[in-house]
Chain A
Amino acid sequence: MSPPPEATPIWRYIRLDEFTCPSPSAKETMRKGVSGFWDKFRRRTEPEEPIITQDELKRLSDKLYAQTAPEPDWTKPVAALNEALEEGLATRISRVHILVGAPFSGIAEVLVNWAERRGIKVIQPPEPGVILNQHQEWLQCLRNEGSTRSLAIPHLERYYLRHHHGLKLIRQLLPWLLNRPGYCVLCCSSWAWAYLSKALQVDKLFPAPWTLEALNQERLQQWFAHLSTRQGKEIFLFRQLDNGAFVIPPLDDMPFAEKTMRKRAAKATPHPEVSAFLTDLAAYSRGNPGIAWTLWRQSLQMAPEKENGTDTQDQTPNGDESTYGHTIWVKPWSQLPLPNLPEAADRNTLQILHTLLLHERLPTSLFIELLPFSFFEARQILIQLERCGLVISAQDEWQLTPLGYPTVRQALQAEGYLVDSL
């Protein structure tokens, strides 16, 4: 039985150049290499159906989802952010601090929480029209806030557009922030940071940015265990569907844990006690909390009684309803349905996806301003990508889905597009 994993803090901020991506398990590397190679030559895209509609069976109820994997609480990493920024403040190298985070990492939400706690004003981004029309009023309003007031800017990626008129605002904003005496924390998407670093050399203007350390297997285990026990009412066991290995090892003080472990020991099962699922999840999501959490929710399911076989007893270990512990079954990593790019994905498709990542989200009307093809063509591609579960539209704004992000990143990297460092 493993001890309670309390040794390392879940959230930690590090310098951007110290970021390392978690590695997958050896088995997954082998499987991915062989099947990826084979799929390439067969020109096959595995899931024909969009991922959203695949969950007709054995899904957890909303209530159970809320109990086992509730929405991440972005106030938790605030203490870690505070620690990182305090260190920066103490060195007094600069009054401007940069945070860089991958999409869905929640880093901007953490900054907003941090700023609200410290009573720092959070600046809202301008409308795209303001950027494209190069209006000076918006910047003047910001200047009127005063040069000594502390500011937090959580979405720097929304202060520019990759358009010949779309860089003026950020070119004026950044030197102003740098030269004013007031304290300021900027948060930027890792994709926008990569572009701005190449195009405007912003990385040379500011000190090294901070980023959230990748959640490795150990941290994910801690985090998911913490999420599932946050409600405090019920305790869950997370076991892998195919071999029954524990994805999150149960704690010693769980009333039914000892019995479950004993039973598995008695069967002398050849499978490892702890599954490699979280190692593969950490590697695939590149330690990104938002993506790992979404994939985690996708993998959870309640198996029908008959599929549980003899293990059904594990679900009611003591027959005592007051200590009833749910066994949540986790799909094996290799069986997790992940969205793929459509087979007909061409240059235009990749350009749309890349542009979306550079700006985090975009309304349809802006695609024709930023890309060299028609509104009709852009819309057609976006709808196709939406069917594949790679993008989603909300309030006429398009953005990538957390499930689609790793696939899109891999495809863009393979085709030589500028990618982020996270």
Chain B
Amino acid sequence: MSQEDITQLFQDPDQIRILQIFLIIALAWLLHRLINWLIPWLAERLPGRARWYLLPLMPVLKLLILITAIALLIPLIIEPTLQNMITLLGAVGLALGFALKDYVSSIMAGIVAIYERTYRPGDWVKINEAYGEVRSVNLRALKILTPEDTIVTIPHAKLWDTNIYNDNNGSRELLCVADFYLDPRHDAHLVREALYDVALTSAFIELDHSIVVIVAEKPWGTHYRLKAYPMDGRDQFLFTSDLTVRGKAVLATLGVQPVQGWLGAQSFSDGDTKL
């Protein structure tokens, strides 16, 4: 592409409306900031359920602003002919392919994530070693708040080659599991009923979902998994703790002992995830 061709691509410098371009960029930036502030602010003030509808709107709105701004800017900077557009896209594609490959890959993955709803603000996700609540989905990366109150920023590009575990997938509730490792010498029927009632009477329970007690016999003892949903996914750790504390109390009244010794402790690590 000769220098003359490139200069033909752009509008006559005298005709480029600098002020208009500046205004579009400024307005897009302001709207972006406004969304970053307004939607979390609204979500905090409106009842709990509204949070699950509002927060996922953030990335969609931001993307709309970006696309609208670019669509408005392009005709102001270049002559909007077919030839010019092809030339521009080719040049931009070449530049991005070499210089900003990862960045663009993340942006593309972000668009896919928005479209496929892989994760939304408010979801509880696990990506590699990070587990937490998605606090924001930006153009390049998402931010996760872990239970240890640490923000982890993960580029969307992870979407291409990493498994993403989403616990609640846009809904308010998510499944929680409390584990009990018991000495096998007990009446399993009684224990299962008792653990069921522990979940049924929790102050956190969401009763629209079923409660399940899974029992598995292991070489070291009996493994119980009490599965239930709390009303709000944010209460998952409190809920699991409540199930565990009250579960232990009820097991103590039944005279059921936890599995003892080194053998049992060693066996937990290899057998539990297979349930």
Closest-CB distance, A102 to chain B (whole angstroms): 20
CB <8 Å contact, A418 and B49 = no
Q: Which of B172-206 contact A (CB under 8 A)?
A: 172, 194, 197-198, 200-201, 203
CB <8 Å contact, A370 and B49 = no
CA distance A176 to B256 in the complex (A): 30
CA distance A198 to B46 in the complex (A): 27
Given A166-B201, A167-B201, A372-B238, A40:B207 Cβ within 8 A: no
Instruction: Tell me whether A118 is interfacial, beta carbon within 8 Å.
Output: no
CB <8 Å contact, B203 and A351 = yes
Given A347-B235, A372-B242, A416:B49 Cβ within 8 A: yes
CB <8 Å contact, A199 and B200 = yes
Contact of B197 among A167, A370, A417, A418 (CB under 8 A): A167
Closest-CB distance, A99 to chain B (whole angstroms): 23
CB <8 Å contact, A415 and B48 = yes
Chain A residue contacts of B30, Cβ below 8 A: none
Instruction: Tell me whether B274 is interfacial, beta carbon within 8 Å.
Output: no
Instruction: Tell me whether A163 is interfacial, beta carbon within 8 Å.
Output: yes
Most buried by B among A164, A166, A195, A355: A164
Chain A residue contacts of B241, Cβ below 8 A: 372
Instruction: Tell me whether A376 is interfacial, beta carbon within 8 Å.
Output: no
CA distance A268 to B102 in the complex (A): 78
CB <8 Å contact, B203 and A372 = yes
Instruction: Tell me whether A43 is interfacial, beta carbon within 8 Å.
Output: yes
Instruction: Tell me whether A414 is interfacial, beta carbon within 8 Å.
Output: yes
Q: Helix, strand, loop or mixed for chain B's interface? A: helix
Chain A residue contacts of B231, Cβ below 8 A: 415-417
Given A347-B235, A372-B242, A415:B201 Cβ within 8 A: no
Q: Which of A267-302 contact B (CB under 8 A)?
A: none
CB <8 Å contact, B238 and A40 = no
Given A164-B194, A372-B242, A416:B201 Cβ within 8 A: no
Smallest CB-CB separation from B172: which chain A residue? A416
Chain B interface residue count, Cβ-Cβ cutoff 8 angstroms: 25
CA distance A370 to B231 in the complex (A): 17
CA distance A414 to B231 in the complex (A): 12
Closest-CB distance, A337 to chain B (whole angstroms): 23
Contact of B207 among A165, A371, A418 (CB under 8 A): A418
Q: How many A-B residue pairs have CB under 8 A?
A: 53
Contact with B along A388-421 (1 / 0, CB 8 A): 0000000000000000000000000011111000
Q: Helix, strand, loop or mixed for chain A's interface? A: loop
Chain B residue contacts of A164, Cβ below 8 A: 194, 197-198, 200-201, 246, 249-250
Chain B residue contacts of A355, Cβ below 8 A: 203
Instruction: Tell me whether A354 is interfacial, beta carbon within 8 Å.
Output: yes
Chain A residue contacts of B48, Cβ below 8 A: 414-416
CB <8 Å contact, A354 and B201 = no
Instruction: Tell me whether B263 is interfacial, beta carbon within 8 Å.
Output: no
Smallest CB-CB separation from B196: which chain A residue? A164
Chain A residue contacts of B245, Cβ below 8 A: 372
Instruction: Tell me whether A230 is interfacial, beta carbon within 8 Å.
Output: no
Chain A residue contacts of B198, Cβ below 8 A: 164
Closest-CB distance, A114 to chain B (whole angstroms): 32
Chain B residue contacts of A414, Cβ below 8 A: 47-49
CB <8 Å contact, B203 and A40 = no
CA distance A355 to B246 in the complex (A): 17
Chain B residue contacts of A43, Cβ below 8 A: 45
Q: Which of B200-259 contact A (CB under 8 A)?
A: 200-201, 203, 207-208, 231-232, 235, 238, 241-242, 245-246, 249-250, 253
Chain A residue contacts of B250, Cβ below 8 A: 164-165
CB <8 Å contact, B207 and A198 = yes
CA distance A198 to B201 in the complex (A): 11
Chain A residue contacts of B194, Cβ below 8 A: 164
CA distance A26 to B49 in the complex (A): 26
Instruction: Tell me whether A162 is interfacial, beta carbon within 8 Å.
Output: yes
Closest-CB distance, B140 to chain A (whole angstroms): 31
Chain A residue contacts of B242, Cβ below 8 A: 372
Smallest CB-CB separation from B46: which chain A residue? A40
Chain A residue contacts of B235, Cβ below 8 A: 347
Smallest CB-CB separation from A355: which chain B residue? B203
CA distance A418 to B208 in the complex (A): 9
Smallest CB-CB separation from B47: which chain A residue? A414
Q: Which of B32-76 contact A (CB under 8 A)?
A: 45-49
Chain B residue contacts of A198, Cβ below 8 A: 207-208
Closest-CB distance, A344 to chain B (whole angstroms): 14
Chain B residue contacts of A415, Cβ below 8 A: 47-48, 231
Chain B residue contacts of A167, Cβ below 8 A: 197, 200-201
Smallest CB-CB separation from B242: which chain A residue? A372
CA distance A167 to B196 in the complex (A): 12
Smallest CB-CB separation from B49: which chain A residue? A416
CB <8 Å contact, B207 and A199 = yes
CA distance A224 to B47 in the complex (A): 36
Closest-CB distance, A35 to chain B (whole angstroms): 15
Given A164-B197, A199-B200, A41:B207 Cβ within 8 A: no
Q: 4 other contacts beyond A372-B203, A417-B231, with CB at 8 A cut-off?
A: A164-B200, A164-B249, A414-B49, A415-B48
Q: List 22 A-B contacts (CB under 8 A).
A: A40-B45, A43-B45, A163-B201, A164-B198, A164-B201, A167-B197, A198-B207, A198-B208, A199-B200, A347-B235, A351-B203, A354-B203, A370-B201, A371-B203, A372-B203, A372-B245, A414-B47, A414-B49, A415-B47, A416-B232, A417-B231, A418-B207
3 closest A-B pairs (Cβ-Cβ)? A414-B47, A198-B207, A164-B197
